[in-house]
Structure 1
Amino acid sequence: MRARLLVFPVKGRNWCFSRSLESSSAAVDSASTHTLSGLKELWAKISSNSDIKHSNVELLIDFVSNKMNKAWIGLEKAPEGTFKSRLHGLGLRLLARVKPSEMFLKSIDKEVSNVEITYPTSLNERLVRRRLRHIAKRGTIIHKKYFYGSVSLLPLTTAFTVLPLPNIPFFWVLFRTYSHWRALQGSQKLLQLVSDSSAANLNEGQHEHNKLNNATDNHVVLPTWVMLPSEQLEGLIRQKDEEDGLSKSTISAICKTFNLNAIDVLKYRDLM
């Protein structure tokens, strides 16, 4: 599966790293077709893969993720003013504190086999790829640390089950555990895709982009990354103010043009 990545400066030294929503939604649709419906099906699948521990861990994580997503959708659809609606509002406030780099790394799932990296023509392509490698390497360190930290908190938060209210701390820590796990996996995958040892360092640019679109021979080795300098993106970021970076209207135009999540892009601008 191919993922389209956008890289561009938003304010000072703050750069935006984002995946196009059209490619990430395709990944979600593909994954949903393999979702396990219940515990019996999960147990049967784990039992049949008893010799593959890593695969079983992924099955369990995907199962828990699906259950959390369904619960979140239920809260989202709750009538205004109800307890579930207030829980959904609390969840949104907590999610707003999640760093955009984590959301970006989570979007690089295991199904991604190559990436298109779109960036403004004024940036050096080696610098762009170096920044991508940096965020991937940093992600492997940070999210591994926070993953183990979240796991260690899970037993403590189970103590809140004695209360007559929903165990919000437990579910939040469970979500953060899953989120850091996904970000860690995404970091490792991205680092693998944009490393110097990948097949893409043999040929770069628009020629590889055409090969990705037109390759029909199963024996052709496709590049794992392709650099695509964009005049259109360059024209949009030229509207920035030197002090405040890209305005909200400019960011909105970029997100609309390249199908990005505007909320996450704005977070990059406001990072300290």
Structure 2
Amino acid sequence: MRARLLVFPIKGRNWCFSRSVDKTTIPTTSSSTAPLTLKDLWKKIISSTGSLQNNAEIVVDFASDKMNTAWENLEKAPEGTVKSRVHGVGLKLLSRVKPSEILFKSISKDVTRVDITYPASFHPRIVRRRLRLVALRGSIVHRRYFYASLTLLPFSCALSVLPLPNVPFFWVLFRVYSHWRALQGSERLLALVSDCSWSRSSLISEKTGINFGNTTTSQVPWDLQPSEELGKLLVGIKEDDGLSNCALSKICLQYHLDMTNVLKYKTSL
């Protein structure tokens, strides 16, 4: 599967790295493939002949399905109830999630190639280098926070004795899941945009059997696509204020980006 990434400066040294949202090409994960109960989860792990990594994916899918179901129930709760207030707190916490984390989580194991769109005035080597550094930094940060969140999970679970909804437990559980997905995505993105032969050899598609071990130009797992149109939209960029919201809105509309996530890059440090 191909993923289209958009790379452009947004304010000062801040660059935006975002994936185009195309619902026709992004497969939807069916909740029916995930185990429904802990008993089903245990049976699936026992019957699985895969590696520890595959078993971890089964557990993550199970937890993700349960968290999505719980979140949907909170979203449907009547206004003024405790569940509605918990949902409001959750929205505020989610607004603090960094946009790079959302990018990494969108790079699933099914992605075997990335199309990188960038302003035509920029050197392609610099663009790919910046993307590679972002992926490398993400793999380090999310590995660290994954283990930290995993350590906090037992302590937050102890709060379940209180007569109130255990919001800290579910938030820490979500962060464990989110950092795990971001870690997997950042490592895969790093392998996709790297020159190392060892990283390409690891990119073997389970569906097509394509091996990227060959170092020929026609088989590199990235495609740099300079865009004159994107460069024109960046003409009015200012060093202090960055791109105007009007220009960002046009870019998001043209390339199918999430405006909320793109704006986070403008204010991030």
TM-score of the pair, normalised by structure 2? 0.88
> Map of 1:36-185 to 2, 5 A cutoff?
36-49=35-48, 52-185=51-184
1:213 aligns to what?
none
- Give the counterpart letter for 1:128 in structure 2: V
2:231 aligns to what?
234
2:17 aligns to what?
17
User: Aligned partners of 2:8 and 2:123: how far apart in 1?
Assistant: 11
1:223 aligns to what?
220
Residue 257 of structure 2 is aligned with which of 233, 256, 260?
260
Contact 2:118 2:227 in 1 (8 A): yes
Contact 1:198 1:223 in 2 (8 A): no
SS at match of 2:16: strand
Contact 2:34 2:58 in 1 (8 A): no
Deviations 1:47-95 (A, max 9, x none): 1115632211110011101111121122222222222221111111101
User: Aligned partners of 2:210 and 2:134: how far apart in 1?
Assistant: 32
Q: Percent identity?
A: 55
User: Aligned partners of 1:70 and 1:237: how far apart in 2?
Assistant: 41
- Give the counterpart letter for 2:146 in structure 1: F
TM-score of the pair, normalised by structure 1? 0.87
Contact 1:27 1:111 in 2 (8 A): no
- Relative distance call for 1:98 and 1:41 in structure 2 (3 A) is same
- Relative distance call for 1:143 and 1:219 in structure 2 (3 A) is closer
1:29 aligns to what?
28
Contact 1:153 1:173 in 2 (8 A): yes
Where does structure 1 lack aligned partners over 5 or more consecutive residues? 202-216
Q: How large is the RMSD of aligned CA atoms in angstroms?
A: 2.3
User: Aligned partners of 2:29 and 2:177: how far apart in 1?
Assistant: 20
SS at match of 2:17: strand
Contact 1:120 1:231 in 2 (8 A): yes
User: Aligned partners of 1:238 and 1:73: how far apart in 2?
Assistant: 42
Q: Report how many aligned residue pairs link the two structures.
A: 255
User: Aligned partners of 2:252 and 2:79: how far apart in 1?
Assistant: 30
- Give the counterpart letter for 1:34 in structure 2: T
SS at match of 1:229: strand
Q: Which has the higher helix share?
A: 1
User: Aligned partners of 2:34 and 2:222: how far apart in 1?
Assistant: 29
Contact 1:17 1:104 in 2 (8 A): yes
- Relative distance call for 1:270 and 1:154 in structure 2 (3 A) is same
- Give the counterpart letter for 1:258 in structure 2: Y
User: Aligned partners of 1:15 and 1:248: how far apart in 2?
Assistant: 15
Where does structure 2 lack aligned partners over 5 or more consecutive residues? 201-207, 213-218
2:6 aligns to what?
6
- Relative distance call for 1:18 and 1:30 in structure 2 (3 A) is same
User: Aligned partners of 2:50 and 2:181: how far apart in 1?
Assistant: 23
- Give the counterpart letter for 1:13 in structure 2: R
User: Aligned partners of 2:262 and 2:109: how far apart in 1?
Assistant: 23
Deviations 1:70-121 (A, max 9, x none): 2112222222222222111111110111111111111111111111001111
Deviation at 1:220, TM superposition (A): 9.5
